[in-house]
Structure 1
Amino acid sequence: MSDAFTLVVLRHAKAERADGGDDHLRPLALQGRKQASRLGAHLSEAGLRPDVVLCSSALRTRQTWELARTGLGADPTVQVRDDLYAASPTDLLAAVREVDPEASVVLVVGHEPSVSALAAHLAGEGSDSAALAQVRAGVPTATYSVLRSPEPWTTWVRDSAVLNGVYRPEV
């Protein structure tokens, strides 16, 4: 299988506890800032430098991306989108399917349970069984899943990619 198209689905880093205020405005906790800073280097070391980033407009996802970006060594096109904040897995997939097929690596920065459900939805034949069990159960903060397919984004549907693994950098 060619690795022509790689999707990295990332749950934001650890955020401050909800205090009854606007959930959309919850910032990263100190631990989350450390996690996010490590993410960029981890993605870069794994050769996962995105061409396009689709990022929820929530403060914690934007902060996760900005801190990860510093260690990434790439300058991708970034779309901060309100519709990704409360997105379902099918909403996330619809956003991915809009990406230009010239982009070979796409990073989605979002929220649980949507990010793990998207990875489970896309994982088809040949997927890593331990990774599939993890995304079916849900993923912790600052965790990303890597899916690959030789097919362009516009054709991605259920079971159309291979889930290669689920990763959480040590802090």
Structure 2
Amino acid sequence: MFFYSEAQVASSREQIAIAVKAAPPEKQAAAKVYGYNQQGEMVLMRAGSNEMICVADDPAKEGFQVVCYHRDLEPFMNRGNELRKEGKRPDEIFAIREKEAKAGTLKMPANPTTLHVLYGGNDVKYNTETDEVENARLRYVVYIPFATAESTGLPIRPLVPGGPWIMDPGTHRAHIMISPDYN
């Protein structure tokens, strides 16, 4: 067992085992997985055969986060990665993708589409014997581009701990946040 943050770059097998933990259990074995090579570049670790795409934890970033998302979000995610590589700031990335989504040059999902996020701090542990991730939490993000509080009936902030709410309403990045209360 090791504290995840202690590893420079986990092996391909470990990155795959850890990344798919964000996906629903029945989707993990057939998910496409991206991870990181020794140079810190995102690379394809495993081709998938279902609709899920998972991304391993970036060893260059503080804390722990792996994500799995529906393939319909791939153009949105890829565009964000391209813009980050160009050195764009988060506000610039948002503005560029917003403009492209409105122009139809950035294909956004036609239906509600989920991103699963398994995250935690530097206390996240990975058990190499069981492939289990400890001290991490799950959050769900359901993208519904251009949805609003009025079109969904959702509030613009959680009304109870862990309650669903809509973030970035009315934009290409509108999404329902569901962060279970683990206390």
Same fold (TM over 0.5): no
Structure showing greater radius of gyration is 2
Larger relative contact order, structure 1 or 2 (CA cutoff 8 Å, min sep 6): 1
More strand by share: 2
| TM value normalised by structure 1 | 0.32
- Structure having the higher helix fraction is 1
TM-score (norm. length: structure 2):
0.30
